[in-house]
Every structure is written in structure tokens, then in C-alpha cells.
Amino acid sequence: MASLNIPNFSRGADPVNLVTEAAIKDIPEVLKQHDTSPNGLTETEAAARLEKFGPNQVAEEKHHGWLQRIYLAARNPLVILLSILAIITFATAGGASDIAGGMLMVAMVVLGISLRFIQETKADNAAAKLKAMISVTATVVRDGQQKEIPLKQLVPGDVVKLSAGDMIPGDVRLLSAKDLFIIQATLTGESMPVEKTDARDARTNVSSIEHTNICFLGTSVESGAATAVIVATGAHTYFGKLAGSLADQQVETAFEKGVKKFTWLMLRFMAVLVPLVFLINGITKHNWKEAFFFSLAVAVGLTPEMLPMIVSVCLSKGALAMSKKKVIVKRLNSIQNFGAMDVLCTDKTGTLTIDHVILEIYCDVFKKESAEVLRDAYLISHFQTGLKNVLDRAVLKYTELHHELSVDKYTKADEIPFDFSRRMMSVVVEGPDGQRQLLTKGAPEAVFAKCMHFESDGEIFPMEPILVGNLIEQVNDLSSDGFRVLAIANKKVGPQTAYSKADEEELVLTGYLAFLDPPKDTAKKAIAVLRQQGITIKVLTGDNDLVSRKVCTEVGINAEKILLGSQVETMSEEQLAEAAETTDVFARLSPAHKKRVVMALQKKGHVVGFMGDGINDA
């Protein structure tokens, strides 16, 4: 068998470099670099690469057996000190009272370790059950044939097929894409789908997550279809890099540092008092044996035997209370950190906001609420084929809750699908009077360019350049306030067998829709309560600064000064530490930026909590 030429493009490479390198190259260059073709790898090639690069799995937190969990629970410095004193007590016991004292210390040690072991075992088991519920496969092209295989068997160079609902099986470069929208919430925390295309993206000065022809492991397909080549798998992916940082050795908590300080304080007291008591008793009573035992009794007396058990009981009670709120506490020591927190860093989307886009505005060109605009938008969303995106669902939900609109009176005649070049889509419907209308929605600037007239209060007027300028200004103002805007237009059409994008000309603009992911009703009150407890709130989000400023202002967070991810990138650790103290809102952050901000605050002596709902927040 001929030896295989396995490209050395993934082993030990930086995920960011792998992605950027694939993004800036044309498709033939990418395929050549990864020694593959549109027909995919052969099974032999795939097996060789699987052996070289390993399974497509990200780093996981090491699972501890029951013996190791007991060891970790017993590693508490105070428990170790108490155990040593118990051994000394038994070794030098002079009567029943000494044995009873030793037994008490042993009992406290065992109870403290047992409570911690039981609570953390329950948390580990709950997390394991959640993980066991997940099983993912991918559609791959091998030997020119499509087949479905487990995600972990994929290798760099594999060609995969993607469709609505699929999870992206690795960091991939798109070879072809049709109306592809990707949900990147697991990486960015933002719920709005992102458009992706197969065109070359020559930008090298943007974050790797912003490349328009790259999809990342852990994200999913909202709608559309695509073919892609895998450029990185497992730990070499962007997601794998994040997971690897999670699997790293955990940092020492403030509670653990406090226990160590207290234990060393006790040891210092003993180091001074025990020899002093021993010498004084020996010199004054001339019985050095009795002086030795008395000094040991002083050492035992200085040690709070009940403290390990009391601490474990208190922490376990806190974990139990949180479990009733459906919170898994994996490390008991984090309970104390939670209580000692003085800075809370929080994500925006899904944490401060409801993580659901809702329809806020439906109006004509003069900003007057328009039932016709809402009706046309509803008919488009109802009759269009394929998966409904978040904006479609928002229109349907709002209309069904607040208006009675019977679609039975309307019949769909045809549809002109969305594409990236037009940035709009249309449906043709026939009303109860038999008249057909072409209803169009799309990006405002794209729809405005197709409109010759606009409608207001049932009358038709010509579109003047000054009106277009005013409309663009309105849209820009809404966008700066965090709204997502869609324009709505229509025109009467005659009966014909099929319609095309050529029919999307000389439209009548009826108005526009504006959508927003609003703050939670409870967010402002919760922030006020936290402030009363002396906790400073800082927002760390991947969203843009305009949206972040609006949401933060509404919930009572000072957003006058916003620090962007690009600024964080160029700051030294000292500069960032100073900036983090005086800034409450950080926008356009990558997970690495968020980590730097949190660590900068910790270096300034703060106990920092972080709250979010995505893997990027972990």
C-alpha cells in the first residue's frame, strides 16, 4: 500500500491561525492545503489522519474516582492539622478522657470529609447525567459517498454536509452555501443568527470569529444548507481552545486561601506557645515528661476541633439551598466565594435580556403605527417556506397575541426565496377579492432601492430622494439604539404561473419593522439589590457597543464609558487592571478578552463572580 501524504496542518497549531489561513484563501487553495477534494477523503486516508490527529474531542475536566474525591476533601490544611493532633493524642493518651478527646477529633474530621464528599459526588453525578444525554453525528463525504458517522471520528480534510438543525462538527471552511445562517450563541453569547457565505474573506485584522466563510465547532445551523471542509478538529478548534482552558487546573479560591492563612496562624501560635509552656512547666515543676504532655494538651486546646465539620455543614447547606433553585454546585468551596463576591461580571444576552427578539415597532414611513405593515409582514412570515428565523417567529407571535388576522382568506401563489445578493425575499398571495399582491421584506437599503412609491393612509406618493435620506436616517437611529430593522413593500401583480426576482421592481414601500431583545423585567431590580449589598456590576458582552449601551442604560448600569475588545487586545496587564476598575461596560469581547478582564479585577484584590448562559462565559 502506498504511503499517505498526511498534511501537517493541525498538530499543535494555533486555532486562530488555522481559521484565518483558511478564510483568506480561495477554495482550491484550501482543498490543496488539506490534501482533499470535493469528493472527500477515502476511508484509508481518514483512518490514517484519525491516528495522527486523534479523535475529534475537546478536552474534558478530569473525572475523579471516589478515592481521589476523598483525598481532595481531606486535603484541607485544617483537617490535616486536626488529624495530626488526633494521632498525637492517641499516642500519648494517659486515660479515658484523652481517648475521648482523640475520638472527638476523629469524628469531626470524618464528618467534615463525608459531608463534602457526598455533596460533590451528587453534583458530579448530576453533571454526568446531563452529558450522557448528548450524542452527536455528522454527515460526511467519504469515498465520494455521503454517510453519517459519530462526531469524534471526523478528521481534518473531511468534507461535510450541513443543513438546518445540524451542529457544526469542527472548525470548517465553507465550500458552498445557500442562505446559510449560523447560531454562534455558544461562542459569542448572542442569539441572533449570523450570515455565512463561501466567498473568500481576505480580512486579517478581525477576530477569527468574525470571518464570514468559517463556521466553528459547537455552533449550529439555523437555516440554509452548505458543504464545508474541516480545517481543525478537537483541541485544535476555537471551541477546543476554550474547553482546554476550562479543563486546566482550577485556581485556588478565596476560601481556600483563607483556610490556609488560618491554619498557618494556628501553627504560629503553637510554635510559640507549645515550647514556651513546655519550658516553663519543665523548669518550675522539674517534671519534663509531664511538661511535654501538658504542652501537647495546649496544642490540642488551641485547635478548634468542630470547625471543619461546621464549615462543611454551612457550605453544604448553601449548596442544598441552591440545588432547590436548580443550580449544580460542583465545588463546595465556591459557596464562600459567592458570598464574599464584591464584583459581579455578567453577560448581556440571555442574562440581562430575555434572549428572545420581540417586535417593538411596525410603522409607515412617517413613524405612524400601521396595521397594513403588520399584516403584510405576517403574511410573508406565515407563507414563506423553510425554517422561520427569529424575526419571523417574533412577527408571528406578536400578531397572533395582539391581533386577529385570518390567513384563510389568503392563498399563496408563489415565493421568491431570499438570497445574499438581493438581501430580500417575497411571497405572492391572492386575497379574498382575487387580486394578487407581491409582498416583500428585506434589508432597508435594499428594499428602498426597489421602491418607486410609498404608501401613507391609503394613498400612494412618489419616492423622493429627500424621503429616502430621511428613511435611512430613521433606520440608522434605530440601529444605534439596538434595533434590527426590516423594510416592508408590496405591489399588485397579475396572474401568471411563476414569479422571479425581476418582479421585485417598482415596489410600493409601506413601512418597516423594528425588533429588539429587551431587558428582563427583573434585571433592573436585581441590579439595585446587588448594589445595596455592596456588589459592583460590570457587563462583559460580545455584542456591539450601541446595543450594549442601550440595554445597560435601561437596567441602571453606567454606560457612558465603554471599553471594546479591540482596545482590551492592545492593553498591558497593568493598563487593563486600571481600566477595569473605572469601566462598567465592555463590548465586542471574545472569551479570551473576558478572561483577561476578570483576571485583571482579581489582581486588584476583588472577589469576582461571573454570570452567563453560554460556553463562552464558562
| Secondary structure in 3-state letters for 104-122 | HHHHHHHHHHHHHHHHHHH
Backbone angles phi, psi at 136, to 5 degrees: -125, 135
* Cα–Cα distance for residue pair 384/374, rounded to 1 Å: 15
**Average pLDDT value for residue range 141-161:** 93
Residues 6 or more apart from 385 whose CB is under 8 A from it? 415, 417
Instruction: State the fold for domain 341-354+521-611.
Output: Rossmann fold (3.40.50)
* Cα–Cα distance for residue pair 113/154, rounded to 1 Å: 43
| Band (522; pLDDT cuts 50, 70, 90) | very high
Rg of the chain, C-alpha, whole Å: 32
All cell numbers assigned to 398: 406578536
Listed in sequence order, the DSSP H helices in 152-253 are: 185-188, 238-247
* Cα–Cα distance for residue pair 350/356, rounded to 1 Å: 8
pLDDT digits (tens, 9 = 90+) for 1-36: 334 444 454 444 555 578 889 999 999 999 999 999
pLDDT digits (tens, 9 = 90+) for 323-333: 777 776 766 76
* Cα–Cα distance for residue pair 264/272, rounded to 1 Å: 12
More confident residue, 259 or 548: 548
On whether the 15-56+154-246 domain is CATH 2.70.150.10, my answer is yes
Backbone angles phi, psi at 403, to 5 degrees: -140, 150
Helix (H) / strand (E) containing 489: strand 484-493
Give how far the C-alpha of residue 287 lies from the chain's centroid of Cα atoms, to the nearest Å.
Answer: 69
Q: Do domains 341-354+521-611 and 358-516 have the same CATH topology?
A: no
pTM of the full structure? 0.61
Residue of 347, 376, 543, 617 marked catalytic: 347
Q: What residues does each domain of the chain span? A: 15-56+154-246, 66-131+251-321, 341-354+521-611, 358-516
pLDDT digits (tens, 9 = 90+) for 50-80: 999 999 987 655 566 777 777 777 777 777 7
Which CATH number, 1.25.40.10, 3.40.1110.10, 3.40.640.10, 3.40.50.880, labels domain 358-516? 3.40.1110.10
Give how far the C-alpha of residue 610 lies from the chain's centroid of Cα atoms, to the nearest Å.
Answer: 12
Asked about 376 being catalytic, the answer comes back as: no
Quick check: 221 and 180 in contact, CB under 8 A? yes
- Amino acid 93: pLDDT: 66
Helix (H) / strand (E) containing 479: helix 465-480
